[in-house]
Structure 1
Amino acid sequence: MANLTEVQKRLIHEVADLFGIPAGAYNFRADGGLAGRNSTENIDIVSKEDGSGIDIRIKPGTTRESVYIPVALSESGLKDTVHNDFFIGENSDVTIVAGCGIDNCGNRDSEHDGIHRFYVGRNAKVKYVEKHYGSGEGTGRRILNPVTEAYLEDGSSMEMEMVQIKGVDSTDRTTIAELKKNARLVVRERLMTHGEQHAISTYKVVLQEEGGSADIVSRSIARDRSYQKFDACIVGNAPCSGHTECDSIIMDEGTILAVPSLEAHHVDASLLHEAAIGKIAGEQLIKLMTLGLTEQQAEEEIINGFLA
């Protein structure tokens, strides 16, 4: 991490839990440029010929290996866009850690738009972690607009952990997935907005073939005057199972819009959606306050437990 400033190192720690160079494959991007890269025998990372991003190729049968591709922006007014493609070989079992941190101390907006496409081979397993974080005292906004596309072959599975807890002024997340026979997708989203922040999460998952399954769950908290929209659609084109759930806490003058939807095109498509929005229960606060916590401390404990 010698090519990174102290601010950029802090941002990468926030989004990827790294204090130094990780073992294995990695690609660090900082302020629009390459800041470090390493490939391994089984995982090859190369720049696209047009310079728009990277290709990550994972050999069939690769197991117990990880890829880190965090991004740090510390320059006010910078707009950074990358297109990254992942080719995960058959029977692999890998973890991919992405995410972006923006520190904006200026008066111009800083933005990162990451477009990630995953091609998951037969019977492969992928855990994908994407965290967003913002900091800085400037008046310029911190903007993140990620797009994730996942194409799962027969018997493959993908688990996505999407986290945004602090400091991002505007985000518009789009996730698209297509699943073949007996493929499985699990998404766990955790989101908190505050101030005047806006966050939109859109999911479109198509279960194309028999035995496909999807489970999409979002937990979110809207504080102050922030706005959230959760728009999730599962389409069943074959005998399959799908579930989408939005569980949200609204506080202060926040706004939350939940738009779960289902489309069944086969008599044996079993699809379910749930949505719940409400405030923190008074009895929860009272119970914690009887243990010696202040009302504010009790609120924070409830919030931390809800988003855990």
Structure 2
Amino acid sequence: MQTGKSDQSVKSVKNTKKEKTDDVIVRQSLDKEAMYGTFVDMKTFQIPDESIRVNKLTDLDDVVKKSLVSAGIAPDGKNKSGSFLMYNNTVSHHSTAVDGLELMPLKDAFKKYDWLAEYSWKLVSPEADKYTAQSYLEDSDGYFIRALAGKKIQFPIQSCLMIGSEKTMQTVHNIIIIEENAELEVITGCVTHDDIKRALHIGVTEMYIQKGAKLTFSMIHNWEEEVEVRPRTGIQIEENGQLVNNYVCLKPARSIQTNPTARLVGEGAKAFFNTIAVAHPNSVLDMGSRVFLDAPRTKTEIISRTITLGGEMISRGDIIGNAPEVYGHLECNGLVLNEKGKQRAIPALEANAMNVEMTHEAAIGRIARDQVEYLMSRGLEEGEATGLIVRGFLSAGIEGIPDELKAEIADIVKKTENAS
């Protein structure tokens, strides 16, 4: 018995030393700038102590509930399989009562499952840049979502990541596991409290989609004009698994830089990335997706529809074919509705195997005058005609848009009707 205790003690010391060594290595990345995106001085932000906890989202005050609704989150939880709220850097609420589905704070999940450590910081490196390093060193909390094998969850999970303090640095770490032949939809809304102007959001998300499983993941950003946003996402998809990823940013933000990376490691795996975004004046949005087709007969499509109302919009797409009989398609389309706006499309294709099929198309321009005039000839006012074209442009080619996203599109159309 004494030998067993002694061995355990030695093991504990070794683990502590390893953790300290890892921290030292990661700490060296705190000054490592991201490959893309504008510079953010992280020293001007702080980790706040302020937090809130509620048993039900309906217990929140009216101001907070209004903010949730603006990001597509229903406080009453109607037609949802679960709800999650993170306020600043603390989990405020989590609930689900659906068989075959788990939703809890990530830190609680680590306490419950020893095996979860094998899924943590495996798809996103803490040394990637200063943002991932900060999140790792903060030991960030977030959501743990798990759909058990064979379970097809009828209604989506809704989660909200809210910043409620001025000059806050919110660091989040999420892990999603969709087990074999399971299906789930997740809608995440990111939002600031109505009186918060400046903040930094760092969101690290790792998604594991196992054999035959399907995940639909929609992200809705609804920040204030001076918020800096740095999501970091890694995805692994096994044989015949599928991801549909919708990324929507129609409200102002100071800057966003995101480039989720998906690895399709199982034969027949599929990944579809859809982005709709609007760059408002003084904003810089650098958005893209990167997909590695690492197994035969894998497929990906990356589609972006973007508008600039005076800000800078950069659309990236990168597909790497590393196996035979793979298919990839990139489509970047942008509208310039303000003379001060900038649009840049940067598609990239790479083939490292025989018998691959990869294509791309990119187009940037204004709304065609003849289209506006045609609709006006049918009885519409000029603003109405412009709005109709914008609505169709943002929705085209993106299947299965949730109702929450349709409402966001309708709202931005009102602002673009007179922009041309």
The TM-score, its normalising length taken from structure 1, stands at: 0.92
> Does 2:101 match 1:12?
no
Which one of 85, 92, 96 corresponds to residue 35 of structure 1? Answer: 92
Q: CA deviation at 1:149?
A: 1.4
Which residue matches 1:155? 240
Deviates more, 1:29-38 or 1:117-126: 29-38
Q: CA deviation at 1:223?
A: 1.2
2-side partners of 1:60 and 1:227: how far apart? 43
2-side partners of 1:283 and 1:51: how far apart? 52
Q: Which has the higher helix share?
A: 2
Which residue matches 2:104? 46
Deviates more, 1:281-290 or 1:42-51: 42-51
On the 8 A contact 1:8/1:74 being kept in 2, the answer is no
SS of the residue corresponding to residue 235 of structure 2 reads strand
On the 8 A contact 2:261/2:290 being kept in 1, the answer is yes
Which residue matches 1:265? 352
Which residue matches 1:204? 290
Structure 2 unaligned residues grouped into runs of 5+: 1-56, 108-138, 396-420
Which residue matches 1:281? 368
Matched AA of 1:38: S
Q: CA deviation at 1:260?
A: 0.2
Q: CA deviation at 1:158?
A: 0.6
SS of the residue corresponding to residue 296 of structure 2 reads coil
Which one of 186, 193, 206 corresponds to residue 279 of structure 2? Answer: 193
Alignment of 1:194-273 (within 5 A): 194-224=280-310, 226-239=311-324, 240-252=326-338, 253-273=340-360
On the 8 A contact 1:101/1:134 being kept in 2, the answer is yes
Deviates more, 1:52-61 or 1:42-51: 42-51
> Does 2:178 match 1:93?
no
On the 8 A contact 1:195/1:223 being kept in 2, the answer is yes
Q: CA deviation at 1:72?
A: 2.1
Q: CA deviation at 1:296?
A: 3.1
Matched AA of 2:143: I
1-side partners of 2:140 and 2:255: how far apart? 26
2-side partners of 1:144 and 1:6: how far apart? 26
* CA separation of 1:168 and 1:85: change in aligned 2, threshold 3 A: same
Alignment of 1:14-163 (within 5 A): 14-22=70-78, 23-40=80-97, 41-49=99-107, 50-65=139-154, 66-103=156-193, 105-106=195-196, 109-135=198-224, 141-163=226-248
Equivalent residues, number: 302
Q: Which has the higher strand share?
A: 1
Matched AA of 1:172: Q
After superposition, give the CA deviation of every residue in 1:76-114 in whole Å (9 maximum; x if it has no partner). Answer: 2212110100111100011111120124535x5222221
2-side partners of 1:52 and 1:221: how far apart? 34
1-side partners of 2:257 and 2:163: how far apart? 18
1-side partners of 2:244 and 2:175: how far apart? 17
Higher CA-based Rg: 2
Matched AA of 2:159: I
After superposition, give the CA deviation of every residue in 1:134-153 in whole Å (9 maximum; x if it has no partner). Answer: 35xxxx71222222211001
Q: CA deviation at 1:292?
A: 4.2
Deviates more, 1:277-286 or 1:58-67: 58-67
On the 8 A contact 1:71/1:101 being kept in 2, the answer is yes
After superposition, give the CA deviation of every residue in 1:185-236 in whole Å (9 maximum; x if it has no partner). Answer: 0111111112111101132110001010000100011112x00111111000
1-side partners of 2:275 and 2:342: how far apart? 18
On the 8 A contact 1:15/1:130 being kept in 2, the answer is no
SS of the residue corresponding to residue 16 of structure 1 reads coil
SS of the residue corresponding to residue 280 of structure 1 reads coil
On the 8 A contact 2:242/2:271 being kept in 1, the answer is yes
SS of the residue corresponding to residue 37 of structure 1 reads strand
Matched AA of 2:229: L
Which one of 259, 273, 277 corresponds to residue 174 of structure 1? Answer: 259
SS of the residue corresponding to residue 9 of structure 1 reads helix
On the 8 A contact 2:273/2:289 being kept in 1, the answer is no
- Cα RMSD between the aligned structures? 1.9
Matched AA of 2:165: E
2-side partners of 1:245 and 1:16: how far apart? 26
2-side partners of 1:263 and 1:228: how far apart? 24
The TM-score, its normalising length taken from structure 2, stands at: 0.68
On the 8 A contact 1:8/1:72 being kept in 2, the answer is no
On the 8 A contact 1:200/1:230 being kept in 2, the answer is yes
Deviates more, 1:187-196 or 1:20-29: 20-29
SS of the residue corresponding to residue 186 of structure 1 reads strand
2-side partners of 1:297 and 1:255: how far apart? 24
Structure 1 unaligned residues grouped into runs of 5+: none
On the 8 A contact 1:246/1:275 being kept in 2, the answer is yes
* CA separation of 1:286 and 1:103: change in aligned 2, threshold 3 A: farther
